[in-house]
Amino acid sequence: MSHHCNLSFQQLTDNDYRRINKELSNKDTIDVVRWAYHTFADELVYACSFGAEGIVLIDIISKIRPDAHIVFLDTHVHFKETYELVEKVQRAYPLLRIEIVQPVLTLEEQAEQHGSALWKIEPNVCCSIRKLQPLATVLAGKKAWLSGLRREQSPARAHVQFINKDQKFTSIKVCPLIHWKWDDVWNYIKLYQLPYNELHDKGYPSIGCEHCTLPVEDGGSSRAGRWAGFEKTECGLHQ
């Protein structure tokens, strides 16, 4: 496959995305990850929420780029189990550069400016302050970012490609797991005995902030536990 080391969001046309996705269409996940690091090197960052998909991607990335730059958006309202998992992963992959990115506003400052429990009134505003703006700052200096999106997660994600034009962050978004099923994710975690968030064993398929995540009943959509009561299943990073 040809080298695209000068690829950037501004230079790539829709035809380029189609061509690259066609080139990658018969490749394995690890080949897509390898392509991404080969292409973008230090201009690539993985924004990881440390869900089940994230753990799989971290393990695959570590085989290709042991010192990869991984970002965790610390909203200050994650579950205790999520923070514990980040520490476990740091111990398991000591070479990875896991950066904990904080929002500009503390929870106290956010409460002063927007009222307490903003997530109950305006969850989109809360996500913007605590996730989108911090990620935008991280991605401003990078050409591309990795994401663990899978097509089967929701109708909104059914058309995700390996390489995507990300208008929101004027970045190239690489999604190596698009064809994986939920069972594939867990088979990989069990096969390699990877650490994972214990909340997955308690009915939480998708884990976000503590206030905005509920367990899902058997057979429910994997995103159903997020922002219950709102017409919202995405924090906005992927819209």
Using the CB atoms, write b or e for 100-117: b if 16+ within 10 Å: eeebebeeeebeeeeeee
User: Do residues 47 and 166 make contact, with C-beta atoms less than 8 angstroms apart?
Assistant: no
Tokens (6 digits) for 197? 């968030």
From residue 59, give the alpha-carbon distance in Å to each of 29, 180, 193, 195. 12, 15, 11, 10
Are residues 7 and 39 in contact, defined by beta-carbon separation less than 8 angstroms? yes
pLDDT over 50 (residue 1):
no
Residues 6+ apart with CB under 8 A from 59: 188, 192, 194
For residue 227, pLDDT over 80 is answered with no
- Annotated catalytic residue 212: no
For the stretch 126-178, pLDDT in tens is 888 889 888 899 999 899 999 999 999 888 889 999 999 998 888 999 999 99
Query: Nearest-5° angle of CA 2, CA 33, CA 65?
Result: 105
Q: How far is CA 203 from the centre of its chain?
A: 20
Among 126, 127, 175, 235, the one annotated catalytic: 235
Q: What is the pLDDT of residues 18-53, one digit of tens each?
A: 999 999 999 999 999 999 999 999 999 999 999 999
